[in-house]
Structure 1
């Protein structure tokens, strides 16, 4: 427990400078502020991840995984909603709200999912090599080539994400994220929670690191400790989200870097890094389904609830009930929707093979090699064309995926 206390203390210590500056009302220069408050957001995300994982000792099942996946990315919500709220009085911030949302979603699929697949691939090779050394020389290659196989109940996540992916094309078509979109996506996320709440299949995950040690505590000590860690993390998020978001914009101006790109990629990377690391560790321990399943659930909540909250925050900040999208944001949302549709098509058979991970990562990298507006539009069409080809090839997977929305899935008695 001493090691656990030290790690918790280190995470809190990482957030301390940012919290102290915030309470003292001190405003550092943009670049130091970006680093200090970014470290605070990262520390809060790490604490939230530990607390969410520990809570699984008291809450079990796919519904718990979905709820805890949402809790783990609260720092991302805080930063993005602050941009949307501020856009109500400063219209130029509307672009940053869209940038942060699209960056978080594309980073999760284009980098997070391939990282899990890569870790699973090398873990399988390692296991195969160990088996070969023990006398079973043919197991390694076969295991390493299978990729990540998802359990049948993950089809619920894929199905709900697929419908949300199709509906999302309404945003670039109307050039706004309206209150209608918000209502539909909130209702859709609620249906998702209800559906997986009725799934009887459980996720028996072996906790690792700090959560494992906290979960081993007696319930009378574990539960107050978990609540305390949640409370500390929430306080850090509240203290750091606004100055971190502001410093990102100001740092872009002072460094001569496109502020849009800083908001789009650096903020999501800081807020989602702990979740990505945990998912990769799961895969490295031959639990690829747990790792990819957690990121898949996070993608569902970010592509539904996060988007839905943006126009509400915009209206609360003094704007209208529709967050406007200008030309660049229209292209970014279209590209993210197209990537999401391809991701769904790749997971229809519940197998995430190495070539699928490579495809998602390669297409993610292309957007930086060809950053022009026309290039993003062409890349969107590439995503869509590949998705249509895969959907045509895997049309037999569509009926069971559709049934997962409200009917039975294999092995589920409900």
Structure 2
């Protein structure tokens, strides 16, 4: 009996059981679960939250199993897209309603919420995701002896060493970040911009094009021998190819559906609970909803770190940031245009201009940290403190001042933090200019190898 309980499939069954209360709730409500309307907010948070938790583990097992058949970077990229799919859904909802109500005050308000949700999600991923996972990795290394952690003398000098194969992700993320600074400057006649700016079709072509190029490169990579696995991934990798591939598809498919359907009610339930305590809607949409939608990704990464696989964990975080900073932004204009019935751009006001710039600046600083393929505890704390302090200041402003005064001062705060992030990033890039050149050289080599691997073999050229 004890041996049966220790069987890897037992863990899969128990994890699926966590999702069943949500499945039952979803079915009995006809696929329409709305906190405050037909279910209590606290019930939505608990039931949907358990589904998100269970699905995150299924997703992680699927990605680890897939490493036996596809390049690890591609498996992680798929994991990253599925894990942040709820974020895409929330942003798509606001972009769609903005397009459907184009030219109205409500349409403009929803367009601003789409941008706020997108920038909030991106900043949470770095400010909390990258920093907290780095700190957790060092903490766990005391028991797990993670080889990626290097102990160094001095206060907060320990570092997490990153896989140098993520040079491609970092280089593409830097390119997307550089372009993002120009998004608010898009001309209305060229890019469908609104009163202050807009995310238009030109942005879609560039950002989505960057991601497609990235996928085209990594999918041609070699399938490496998977790291020594234990538990569920090890058991599934022992299967023959067809059953193994089917298991990966089922794990990805089921967890993806669960996460996609459960995260929105989970986030809405948190929002409803927050509003009960007087937290403004805009603040909830920008910070609480994205935090909920990012939870699957953070759970998956924490799981990998707990298994002393911090390298794979950080690869997933960086891949998530890349797809959010390219696909998420790029598809907003497409959704808006379809809803509006013509090619246009998602407009946004001056506050969202500042939000995009600070998000790009934070990304710029974070990439500078990674150029030497490591992140120290000092750097992780810096990311966390800068993020928390900026959000805390904004929250204090909206709680103590009138809406107009709070927004004006909030914009000043955003620009001040943007300047600070840029200054820190420039200093780091200058100090690590040799590392940066090495990163670009490694990326160029990876791209060349991908191009060569796609050409016909000389011996088969005449076949």
TM range (shorter): 0.7 to 0.9
Residues 301-320 of structure 1: pairs in structure 2 closer than 5 A = 301-318=323-340
Residues 234-253 of structure 1: pairs in structure 2 closer than 5 A = 234-236=256-258, 239-240=261-262
Counterpart CA distance in 1 for 2:58 and 2:305 is: 21
CA contact (8 A) 1:120 1:288 kept: yes
Match of 1:374 among 401, 412, 423: 412
Pairwise CA distance, 1:408: 5.0
Cα distance, 1:112–1:203 mapped onto 2, change above 3 Å: farther
Cα distance, 1:343–1:249 mapped onto 2, change above 3 Å: same
More displaced, 179-188 or 87-96? 87-96
Residues 100-179 of structure 1: pairs in structure 2 closer than 5 A = 100-126=117-143, 145-174=157-186, 175-179=197-201
Partner of 1:347: 370
Counterpart CA distance in 2 for 1:311 and 1:345 is: 29
Cα distance, 1:245–1:141 mapped onto 2, change above 3 Å: closer
Cα distance, 1:203–1:69 mapped onto 2, change above 3 Å: farther
Segments of structure 2 that go 5 or more residues without pairing to the other structure are: 1-7, 102-106, 187-196, 395-409, 453-463
Pairwise CA distance, 1:285: 3.8
Match of 2:356 among 316, 333, 339: 333
Counterpart CA distance in 1 for 2:283 and 2:229 is: 35
Partner of 2:203: 181
CA contact (8 A) 1:315 1:321 kept: yes
Pairwise CA distance, 1:361: 0.7
Partner of 1:396: 434
CA contact (8 A) 1:84 1:310 kept: yes
Partner of 1:134: none
Counterpart CA distance in 1 for 2:16 and 2:43 is: 22
Partner of 1:232: 254
Pairwise CA distance, 1:37: 5.5
Cα distance, 1:260–1:197 mapped onto 2, change above 3 Å: same
Residues 67-78 of structure 1: pairs in structure 2 closer than 5 A = 67-78=78-89
Counterpart CA distance in 2 for 1:208 and 1:87 is: 47
Deviations 1:141-161 (A, max 9, x none): 569954111222211111111
More displaced, 239-248 or 295-304? 239-248
Partner of 2:403: none
Cα distance, 1:300–1:14 mapped onto 2, change above 3 Å: farther
Residues 280-291 of structure 1: pairs in structure 2 closer than 5 A = 280-291=302-313
Match of 2:65 among 38, 42, 54: 54
More displaced, 381-390 or 259-268? 259-268
| Larger-Rg structure | 2
Counterpart CA distance in 1 for 2:434 and 2:223 is: 24
CA contact (8 A) 2:211 2:327 kept: yes
CA contact (8 A) 1:102 1:333 kept: yes
2:346 is paired with a residue whose SS is: strand
Match of 1:96 among 113, 121, 130: 113
More displaced, 69-78 or 212-221? 212-221
TM-score under structure 2 normalisation? 0.76
1:59 is paired with a residue whose SS is: coil
1:29 is paired with a residue whose SS is: coil
1:88 is paired with a residue whose SS is: helix
Counterpart CA distance in 2 for 1:3 and 1:80 is: 37
Counterpart CA distance in 1 for 2:33 and 2:293 is: 23
Counterpart CA distance in 2 for 1:249 and 1:140 is: 41
1:407 is paired with a residue whose SS is: helix
Counterpart CA distance in 2 for 1:394 and 1:9 is: 46
Q: Number of matched residues?
A: 405
Segments of structure 1 that go 5 or more residues without pairing to the other structure are: 130-138
Pairwise CA distance, 1:313: 1.1
Match of 1:16 among 10, 17, 23: 23
The CA RMSD over aligned residues, in Å, is 3.4
Pairwise CA distance, 1:329: 1.5
2:30 is paired with a residue whose SS is: helix
Partner of 1:87: 98
Cα distance, 1:334–1:351 mapped onto 2, change above 3 Å: same
Deviations 1:378-414 (A, max 9, x none): 1111001111111111111222222344335999997
Counterpart CA distance in 2 for 1:75 and 1:50 is: 19
Match of 1:267 among 275, 286, 289: 289
Cα distance, 1:247–1:330 mapped onto 2, change above 3 Å: farther
Pairwise CA distance, 1:351: 1.3
Match of 1:223 among 218, 234, 245: 245
Counterpart CA distance in 2 for 1:209 and 1:275 is: 20
More displaced, 277-286 or 25-34? 25-34
Counterpart CA distance in 2 for 1:305 and 1:142 is: 41
